[in-house]
Amino acid sequence: MAMTKSNVYAMEDEKALSFLRDNLNIGKKACGKILDFYKNTYGGESKWDLANAITEYAHEAESISERVRLERLATKVA
């Protein structure tokens, strides 16, 4: 995963936000946080970077079930 470009790597921000919204079923603000983590915390290139960004956002989830759902989707969406 660390050597493979993420699904949002070459996308413009609006397209990346739309991709994340569609695949994670969360709001635009939440997707913005994920995109920020992806680009500014984890490097913004690999599937590993995006999976970590999604997982980090999942720690902010309102419920354990939502956190688990997002963490399960992280590698599939990346």
Residue 33 within a domain: yes
Residue 1 within a domain: no
Query: Structurally, how many domains does the chain consist of?
Result: 1
Can you give the pTM of this predicted structure? 0.93
Give me the mean pLDDT over the 45-60 stretch.
96
Q: What is the pLDDT of residue 57?
A: 96
Domain span at residue 23 reads: 13-77
Q: What is the pLDDT of residue 62?
A: 87
pLDDT (tens digit, 9 = 90+) per residue, 5-49? Answer: 999 999 999 999 999 999 999 999 999 999 999 999 999 999 999
Confidence of residue 1 (pLDDT cuts 50, 70, 90): confident
Buried b (16+ CB within 10 A) or exposed e, 34-73: bbebbbeebebbbbbbbbbbbbbbbeebeeeeebeebbeb
Q: What is the pLDDT of residue 19?
A: 97
